[in-house]
Amino acid sequence: MIPLGQLRQLPLWRLAARARPRVRWLSNYNRPAYRRFSSNGRPPFWQSRGFWYAAGTAGTGGLVYYELHIDESPTGRRRFIDISPAEEEKLGQAAYLQTMAQYRGQIVPRNAPADAFVRRVAHRVIGAAGLEGDWEVHVIHSPEKNAFVLPGRKIFVFSGLLPLAASEDGLATVLAHEIAHQYARHSAEKLSQAKLLSLLYMLVSLFVDPSLAQLGRSMTSLLLELPNSRQCEQEADEIGLNFMAMACYDPHQAVGLWQRMRQAEGVTPPQLLNTHPSSASRIANIQKWIPQAQMKREAANCPNPELTRTFFSRLGSGVAPF
């Protein structure tokens, strides 16, 4: 304690220095780090050691499950499929009933010219490919230019496609392509991929940020789903070209079909944003695969394609009934 008399004699800067509180700069170094707690006063569950043990175990099990369900496509491509053929056929049956209900009244009657034409081409391709089972073929009276095959051997062709096909060879190009999808189990592949992506979105929403799940869905669609879809389409083009050649159709006629398809498409989105390859890309690939398909045709002891077309044209069965 400094006497009052001495205080009056001290300069002002000394008084200010004595009045200033002392700060211990090093005192904060020994304080515990800030920790964020949840509303109940406990750390978030994902910070616990047990959670990471469980997550590691689940992740390891998931990788093992994934590897155990790696399948090889007919062209040698590796893909994940965890849906059995029986499950796939059950889903296809449900889709078949829904399709028949949707187009009730538009199914072309049996033995009508369009129905007989489509059934003849379809069964010729199916027989040459050696695909067993009872196949059902239906023609839908609609201007839509499309065809599809559901799991379980159910073929649907829209009548609007027939003028574009123009001949048995043109229709065989489309049907062989769609049958190749079924043969390669592309439906099961896409369903299996969708299950994986749904699990990924759920984990992102739960542990990261729900808003990132939507962004991730858009990115995976652009970078994974669309390329995979185009890859399946390209694979079906290659397999289908071989199937139509084995059925003694002319694989060169596939180029003409896709040229007509390109003219009918008009303006289409860029291939990057489309589920199907562009027609120009398809034509280039088909021209590259024609020599291989021609070998398949020769191995099947098929006659000269010009003779075949002349024979069917004389019978009146080589041209689409439209």
Q: How far is 62 from 99, CA to CA, in rounded Å?
A: 35
Two structure tokens written together for 49: 């050691």
Q: How far is 204 from 211, CA to CA, in rounded Å?
A: 9
Cβ atoms < 10 Å from Cβ of 313: 13
Active-site option among 88, 168, 178, 235: 178
Residue with tokens 């694979």: 235
Residue with tokens 């003779």: 307
Transcribe 23-64 into DSSP letters. --GGGGGGSPPP----TTSS--GGGSHHHHHHHHHHHHHHHH
CA atoms 23, 26, 30, 32: torsion sign: positive
Distance of CA 310 to the CA centre of its chain: 40
Q: Is 225 a catalytic residue?
A: no
Give the residue numbers marked as catalytic.
178
